Amino acid sequence: TRMRVDVVSIFPEYLAPLDLSLIGRARASGVLDLAVHDLRTWTHDVHRTVDDTPYGGGPGMVMRPEPWGEALDALVPVGEEPPPRLVVPSPAGVPFRQALAHEWAAERHLIFACGRYEGIDQRVLEHAATRMPVTEVSLGDYVLFGGEVAVLVIMEAVTRLLPGVLGNADSLAEESHAHGLLEAPVYTKPPGWRGHDVPEILRSGDHGRIARWRRDEALVRTARRRPDMLAVLPATELDKRDIAA
């Protein structure tokens, strides 16, 4: 197996979609070995308590350190080399981008800690960092209830980069953010649909002109929707299309 992934959550059923489609296939092909664990496995009281009131006051509850400590002890064999990476989705995390997906696709073992409530006691991450690399990561500037949906997103972005998971590797090459621009629009049959026609050029068979048309469309879209992405393009890319302002 190329990659082992452990996910710990108090809502393990939230991760059920990881059994489907591409990720299901990656698991079946043996390239990905995924296990989802219920954090309450590592509680010992009759109520299986995972949360408590926050020191310093404030609203909501905080996830207790003890169950997380025992969960990580159970999931990280002593002396595992290289150590797994612990990924903790959090509103306070570093932005999750394609570069991180590529980095994490090269890991042998990932452990995802799904927080809920107001988050996980920070000492869990501090202690884990003495044994393994730890990354707090955020999907974006909006507030979710917990880390589970972030793990679904991260797992999709990472798994599709594993060898043999994507059917035709070409679609990797063309994907957005690979050439630093947004994707050009895509079309398929019928050529005319509800009065909307496919751009003639795409049906011309002139592959040179089609490639140019797609790049122009990608640049226009990027300039309109994500000017921030253009700011970081190497100048040569802009010069090529002489759209430098």
Instruction: List residues near ligand JEB by CB under 6 A.
Output: 89-91, 93, 115-116, 118-119, 138-140, 142-147, 150
Cβ(119)–Cβ(145) below 8 Å? no
Sort strands 62-63 and 51-52 into parallel, antiparallel or unpaired.
antiparallel
CA–CA dist 172, 101 (Å, integer):
13
34, 40 contact by CB (below 8 A)? no
Q: Judged by CB, which is closer to ligand JEB: 159, or 222?
A: 159
Q: How far is the CB of 155 from ligand JEB (least distance, A)?
A: 13
Cβ 47 to ligand JEB shortest distance, Å: 20
From the CB of 120, what's the least distance to ligand JEB, in Å?
Answer: 7
What is residue 64's three-state secondary structure?
A: coil
What minimum distance in Å lies between the beta carbon of 14 and ligand JEB? 12
| Stretch (H or E) spanning 103 | helix 98-105
CB of 111 or CB of 181, closer to ligand JEB: 111
Q: How do 109-113 and 85-95 pair as beta strands?
A: parallel
Angle at 108 between CA 102 and CA 110, to 5 degrees: 75
Closest distance between ligand JEB and the C-beta of residue 140, in Å? 5
Q: b or e along 8-19 (b: 16 or more beta carbons within 10 Å of the residue's beta carbon)?
A: bbbbbebbeebe
Closest CB to ligand JEB among 10 and 105? 10
Min. distance of Cβ 161 from ligand JEB in angstroms?
19
Question: Nearer to ligand JEB by C-beta: 30 or 140?
Answer: 140
Angle between helices 148-159 and 21-28 (to 10 degrees): 60
Q: Which is nearer to ligand JEB, 22 or 144 (CB)?
A: 144
Residue 165 phi, psi dihedral angles, 5° rounding: -80, -45
Considering the complex, state which of residue 67 and residue 115 has its C-beta at the smaller distance from ligand JEB.
115
* Rounded Cα–Cα distance for residues 112 and 167 (Å): 27
**Rounded-to-integer distance, Cα 136 and Cα 234, Å:** 29
Q: Least distance from C-beta 36 to ligand JEB, angstroms?
A: 16
Residue 31 or residue 144: which is nearer to ligand JEB going by CB?
144
